[in-house]
Amino acid sequence: MEKVIITENDILNAKTAIPLVLKYTLAKYIAELSCERKAITVKEGGVDAISLPDMVQRNTLMEQQYKIGVFVKEYMGKDFSPVKESSGADVPYLMSADDSDGWSDFETQIDRLKRSKNKEVADKCYEILNDYHAFCRMVSIEIEQELQIKNDPIGRLAWLCKSLINGFTLEDFQRIVGEIGALREELGESKESEKQEE
């Protein structure tokens, strides 16, 4: 990991803001890809009883890698090699963990450059951080909404019921009908014996 040093010249060449529509699009993109499925299984006595619908959780590592990637590409205007999918295609804006470490203190560096004697540099530092923080807030809101929708208890219960019904075969139905018939016969017999005892 090679630490990146941000210079005053980098700030002068940086964008102070990215368009609102791009912010929104990137926030939705990052939210969708930073939420990962987690399998949930209820166990009874050490034996798997039932697999519940997956929950969705926030992958904060991936979220940070995306946000740093957006900062480097969109604000600083610098290229980097994004992480590749298993197919070999680039994942846009996803910076590797190692490269992200090199940029890990970019906010601190820009914060220090706010005190530059060059007024243009100082002003741009404030503007860049303000716009980047607005973008980060949008990402957080989109992730929270994604988690609420995908972890909705009623939706998960409906999904479980649907999967149970879809997995219900004709043989299962016939078996249950047979069991109900046997129970009726048993109940009928016990009622008959009760009447005879009276």
Per-residue pLDDT of the chain (198 residues; tens, 9 = 90+): 789 999 999 999 999 999 999 999 999 999 999 999 887 766 666 655 666 667 889 999 999 999 999 999 999 999 999 999 888 899 999 999 999 999 999 999 999 999 999 999 999 999 999 999 999 999 999 999 999 888 877 665 665 566 656 666 667 666 666 766 766 776 666 556 656 666
The pLDDT value given to residue 39: 75
- Per-residue pLDDT at 82: 92
| Whether the Cβ atoms of residue 106 and residue 132 lie closer than 8 Å to each other | no
Query: Tell me, what's the pLDDT at 68?
Result: 97
Q: How far apart are CA 95 and CA 76, in angstroms?
A: 14
Q: Are 135 and 70 in contact (CB under 8 A)?
A: yes
pLDDT per residue over 142-188, tens digit each?
A: 999 999 888 877 665 665 566 656 666 667 666 666 766 766 776 66
Q: Is 47 left (phi over 0), alpha (psi -120 to 50) or beta?
A: beta
The overall pTM is greater than 0.85? no
pLDDT for position 72: 97
Structure tokens at 96: 């590797």
| Geometric angle at alpha carbon 151, from 157 and 145, rounded to 5° | 140
Place of tokens 């480097």: 72
User: Which distant-in-sequence residues (6+ apart) come within 8 Å of 145 by Cβ?
Assistant: 31
